[in-house]
Amino acid sequence: MKHKGNKVMRICIYILLIGVLYLSAAEQQSVVPDIFITRWQITVPIPVGPSDTSMEAQEKAFQENVVPADQIIASLALGKLTVNGIDYPWRTFVSPSNAIDLAALYNRIDYHYVYAVADISADAGQKAVLGIGSDDAVQMWLNGVLVHENFRGRPVTIDEDLMGVSLLPGKNTLIVKIHNLQGDWGFAVRPLSQASLAEKLVDSAGDGNMQTVTLLLENGVNPNSIIGPGLTAAHIATIKGNRSLIDLLVKFGADTLIKMPKVEELIDFTVSRAKKEDYPGASVLVAQDGKIVYQQCIGMANVDKSVPIIPETTFRIGSITKQFTAASILKLQEQGKLSVQDKLSQYFSDFPRGDDVTLHHLLTHTSGIASYTDAPGFIDQVTGDISTEEMITWIKSLGYTFSPGESWAYCNSGYYLLGVIVEQVSGRSFDQFLKETFFQSLGMTSSGVYRRGLNLAHEAVGYQYQNDAVSLALDWNMDFAGGAGNLYANVGDLYRWNEAIFAGKILSPSSLTPAFTPVVLNSGEKAAAMGGSYGYGWSLVDVRGLSLIEHGGGLHGFSTFITRVPDKKMTVVVLSNAAANIPHLSPGNLAHQIIEMTFYGVMKEQNIATVEQPVDFAAFDDYVGQYDYGQAMMTIRRSGNHLLAQLGTQPEFEIFPSGANKFFWKMAAAQIEFVRDENGRVTHGLHTQNGATLKVPRIPEEKEIQLSAQVLEQYVGDYELAPGFILSITREGTQLYSQATGQSRVEIYPKSETEFFLRVVVASLTFVKDENGAVKAVVLDQGSVHREAPKIK
């Protein structure tokens, strides 16, 4: 009873404090470097206006729906902003955190925008660099002058956009407009300190982002700024082999004679900077010539119990499991118990097209079998119970995305089946086979198949990072992962495994050769895969002339990576218990950074693209469309004299012309060349990144027809794709939308009276009617998925 009373009192005090904050919100906030501006006056949400929710229509509205800055300022005294004859009241808000969470303040309201105003005070006139992160599009005015705009769909990322500004002595007025597309929305603004600018300069140099580097240098950031162990932007440009960036830095006065920090210092700084108090973290191990040369643990294995990560901490390793599954198949082949050329039908007699698929196809992701992890509703099921028999039945039902050997697509279904085949052939459980065949002899005492109730002594708990905070991640039942990803291990065991593999202690040379050989398709072409090529359970990539053999793993709460540099006899292992990744801690990126820091002196320089002059803007329309990247679709659209690219649901980025039909990203070392046929029509793209080139076919454009609101209304309702996984169809005017459980709402477009297509993914919906003409179901076709969902509401 006493506890309840105290709780009520705390709530009352909290409300009173909030009231005080609201009353004082109109006060000017001092400009303090690195301190976020948290006191704002914000309008209630204003509808964007057009019923067309395409990016083109939304961007046009974003540019046109602008109230002059002086009218916005004048409306504050009235307590309301009038737009198109409608009054939108101002609210004063003080955020309890760095970001202004508009979803918490106004809920998730799609296709709306707000204005926010803050007064900041500077002791003297000064130049400053402001950082802003926004979800989604943003425009910013300072003292009535537009200083920044960026139309992109994205989450709030602190300081993602930077702008140089001149502050007046005394009062300065900031106006921010946030245009929400879908889902969460918000923003965060702060002036950056010299220390933060130095970090931004070095990080942008590491990313190869010459645009941001130029902005920082032009706004007075010291080109010789130092972070960590004496690391400068010129150092990181040297490590990255970016000659163009070095030349830019020298132009602004960078000293290339400043001594490079030692490799051990560079690695330790790169690992340690990801550490944050009471956050999950990682375990990192680097070995060369068979000896551990660096090992570090950061963060918490269990945040709630304050248990730190130590070298013995075990992590679920996800798809790193695939190399263990592949090694098991190859070991059984060495024992004469199976062959990688065996037909799938030998092990599952009723598997659809089982005579067309071999174990080689499963090992190389070229079977064409649909991956069950891409199936609708998978995530909603993954914490429940399932048997091996149920999994196999499910995989059989998914069909194929292409004929075996015709293409490459990452396929967890194939590796799940391989894990079952290991059990069938060996007569032992997958866990028992691995331990008796590999783990025991190698001293891998902290590895095995993860299952519920294990109660491991040093187990890491999985977390997710979102909006500058961490929370418990979805806890998979690893029975769903099987041979595709169900193992756990620590860095020491994976180091022992990698050393043994490359010393020839586990498999014979005749087995290792195909495992480390790029798979070739039926056409004779080497399959482009994962930024390089793929063997049996290992990815094969080239990083600036160094050949790497590696694989990553990822599931909710865990992100992992292991790589080998065969020519240098180096192993790098990074295991993290946070996914999505916490800042500065992407295991794959970190592993590659460690390799570059160690071997940059013998690695090739990057071939950095530059903007072609003059630019043939008339050709931009030829490239507009959608391109098939296998696991996602790249949408290319034009905005004036800009060409924009968006892969799947990732943020949209501008691409820049570097030559005839050639474009590049400034945010990453990636390029695309658009290829034309004999008639001059663009048929596909060639995407180059990390030394590998991927052919991406252009998807034929679907033709939209017009249907009346009356016809569309009959399709409105809920359809059950799977138990607990609902596809909701809604209508606004003559536009239909679909929204699956836990996913964003997307437009669907009619190509006939009953057939509709999507533009964000390659998928279609066909509505099915009964004998009386009433809609009874919808059929989803997406890749290999063909599923009829009955109408339940």
From CA 142, how far away is CA 119, in angstroms rounded? 10
- Cβ–Cβ under 8 Å, residues 405 and 366: yes
Same fold, 617-697 and 709-790: yes
Tokens 């901490």, located at residue: 313
643 pLDDT exceeds 80?
A: yes
- C-alpha distances (whole Å) from 611 to each of 423, 616, 657, 660, 722 are 56, 12, 5, 11, 49
- Cβ–Cβ under 8 Å, residues 254 and 232: yes
26 pLDDT exceeds 60?
A: no
Domain 26-192 fold: Jelly Rolls (2.60.120)
Mean pLDDT value of segment 166-185 = 95
Token pair belonging to 135: 């979800």
Give the HSE-up count for residue 373: Cα atoms under 13 Å, Cβ half-sphere.
Answer: 22
Lowest mean pLDDT: which of 197-201, 515-519, 541-545, 606-610?
A: 606-610
More confident residue, 607 or 183: 183
pLDDT band at residue 690 under the 50/70/90 scheme: low
Residue 490 per-residue DSSP state: -
Q: Mind listing the pLDDT tens digit for each residue in 374-388?
A: 887 888 899 999 999
Taking domain 617-697, whether its CATH number is 3.30.70.1530 is answered by no
Instruction: Render 91-131 in DSSP notation, one character per residue.
Output: EEEE-SSSSEEHHHHH---TTEEEEEEEEEEESS-EEEEEE
At 333 the three-state DSSP class reads: helix
* Main-chain dihedrals φ then ψ at residue 293, nearest 5 degrees: -110, -15
Mean pLDDT value of segment 23-46 = 85
- CA 766, 767, 772 angle in degrees (round to 5)? 145
Mean pLDDT value of segment 770-781 = 94
CATH number attached to the domain at 282-602: 3.40.710.10
Note the helical H segments in 24-66.
55-64
- Cβ–Cβ under 8 Å, residues 347 and 421: yes
pLDDT, residue 503, reads 97
- Cβ–Cβ under 8 Å, residues 687 and 672: yes
17 pLDDT exceeds 70?
A: no
pLDDT, residue 782, reads 76
From CA 705, how far away is CA 186, in angstroms rounded? 36
- Cβ–Cβ under 8 Å, residues 769 and 710: no
pLDDT, residue 729, reads 97
In angstroms and rounded to an integer, the radius of gyration of the C-alpha atoms of the chain is 28
1 pLDDT exceeds 60?
A: no
Torsion 657-658-661-662 (CA) sign: negative
Residue 402: what residue type?
F
* Main-chain dihedrals φ then ψ at residue 596, nearest 5 degrees: -65, -40
The structural domains of the chain, with segments of one domain joined by +, span: 26-192, 200-261, 282-602, 617-697, 709-790
Mean pLDDT value of segment 207-233 = 94
Q: Taking phi first (over 0 means left), then psi (-120 to 50 degrees means alpha), and beta for anything else, what does residue 26 get? A: alpha
Which residues does residue 88 pair with via DSSP β-bridges, in sequence order?
81
Q: What is the pTM of this model?
A: 0.83
* Average pLDDT for the chain: 91
Token pair belonging to 711: 């016809």
Chain Cα centroid distance, residue 765: 27
- Cβ–Cβ under 8 Å, residues 102 and 185: yes
* Main-chain dihedrals φ then ψ at residue 246, nearest 5 degrees: -60, -45
Token pair belonging to 274: 């990801």
Instruction: Render 596-618 in DSSP notation, one character per residue.
Output: HHHHGGGSPPP------SS--GG
* Main-chain dihedrals φ then ψ at residue 210, nearest 5 degrees: -65, -25
CATH architecture of 709-790: Beta Barrel (2.40)
Token pair belonging to 616: 């043939």
Helix axis angle for 587-599 and 263-272, nearest 10°, is 170
pLDDT band at residue 12 under the 50/70/90 scheme: very low
Give 340: exposed, middle or buried? Use CB within 10 Å, 0-12, 13-18, 19+.
buried
The percentage of the chain sitting over the pLDDT mark of 70, rounded to a whole number, equals: 95
Mean pLDDT value of segment 561-567 = 98
Mean pLDDT value of segment 188-203 = 97
pLDDT, residue 743, reads 72
pLDDT, residue 691, reads 59
Domain 200-261 fold: 1.25.40
Mean pLDDT value of segment 306-312 = 98
Count CB atoms within 10 A of the CB of residue 257: 6
Mean pLDDT value of segment 542-557 = 95
User: Please, which contacts does 656-659 make with residues 24 or more away whose CB atoms are closer than 8 Å?
Assistant: 656/609, 656/611, 657/611, 657/612, 657/615, 657/616, 658/609, 658/610, 658/611, 658/612, 659/612
From CA 291, how far away is CA 294, in angstroms rounded? 9
Residue 400 per-residue DSSP state: B
